[in-house]
A = this chain, B = another copy of it.
Amino acid sequence: MVVGVIGLGLIGGSMAIDLKRRGFADRVLGVEADTVNAAAAEKIGLVDAVVPFDNLVEESDIVIIAVPVGTAVKMLPEILDKFQQIEGGEKKIVIDTCSTKGQIVRCVHYHPMRKCYVATHPMAGTEYSGPWAAMPNLYDGRACIFANTEESDPKAVHIVEKLYDALNMRPIYMNADNHDVHTAYVSHISHVTSFALALTVLDKEKDEKHIFDLASGGFSSTVRLAKSNADMWVPILSQNRDNVLQVIDTYIDKMKQFRDAIDEFDEDKIRDLISEANRIKKIIR
């Protein structure tokens, strides 16, 4: 099996590493638009060869789109177009790894080669990016969402299930729009709250030495996601606008409840809010 990975950053690079060394792929090809990253990916040895886009699409049995979702929604129809032109193209598969699914699924809904596409979201990552952030075992034990599989060829879905099985991921099947609602709550909002926390602290603490000296493990953990890459997160927040706005509004409302309780020295109310929040202990270990 030849696997082609478009975008050799944290997500694509980590998939390339494990698909090759675990024997799912006999050969891994890569495409990387950034020339520095492309050279680094070759040097690190993430893929067997970095090749031009057209060659990758022609030579790969499975194409993995691992680029920011803004680019992915333009790239996916182009790849399906190429499948249509290639002899035996209907046997090829293309998947994406994007964190929002509604728009990308809609953009190829009427494409004649739609069945070759399987929409997935492997829910793993770190706050780092680029080929140097790629690592083995990134996906082990995490969930991978398959969206709208009824629109894909069942054989293609089956092969993609095997691909994620090689990455040790748990499959979860979901409608693309439900996916976007849930990820707004358990992923996208966390990034916004971290960005806002970093901005708040940077705004106040002009003397960065104080932040460094005083940052506890708790602060570091809470602000960790604020290191995340703008290229990835701008299109996610933009494409998942409606859901994210709804979560932000709920979140601001919760912050205001804390604000008012603290303002009024209402210790019973603060205690109620914290005790209620503590319920997360039972869910997240």
Contact = CB atoms under 8 A, between A and B. Distances in A.
Interface of A: 123-127, 142-143, 145, 170, 172, 182-183, 185-187, 189-205, 208, 210-230, 233-235, 237-238, 241, 244-245, 247-252, 254-259, 262-263, 265, 267, 270-271, 273-284
Given A213-B172, A277-B199, A193 B220 contact: no
Number of copies: 2
A85 to B, nearest CB: 33
Contacts of A234: 267, 270-271, 274
Given A143-B214, A221-B224, 17 more contacts: A123-B216, A186-B211, A190-B197, A195-B274, A196-B255, A199-B276, A200-B251, A204-B250, A215-B284, A223-B280, A224-B284, A227-B280, A238-B262, A248-B259, A248-B262, A249-B259, A252-B256
A267 B244 CA distance: 14
Contacts of A211: 185-186, 283-284
A238 B205 contact: no
Interface residues of A, dominant DSSP: helix
B219 A222 contact: no
A283 B228 CA distance: 14
Contacts of A282: 208
A38 B25 CA distance: 58
9 contacts: A125-B217, A127-B218, A185-B201, A192-B258, A200-B254, A208-B283, A221-B225, A234-B271, A234-B274
A26 B166 CA distance: 55
Contacts of A241: 262-263, 265
A245 B271 contact: no
A214 B202 contact: no
A284 B195 contact: no
B189 A142 contact: no
Nearest to A204: B185
A200 B189 contact: yes
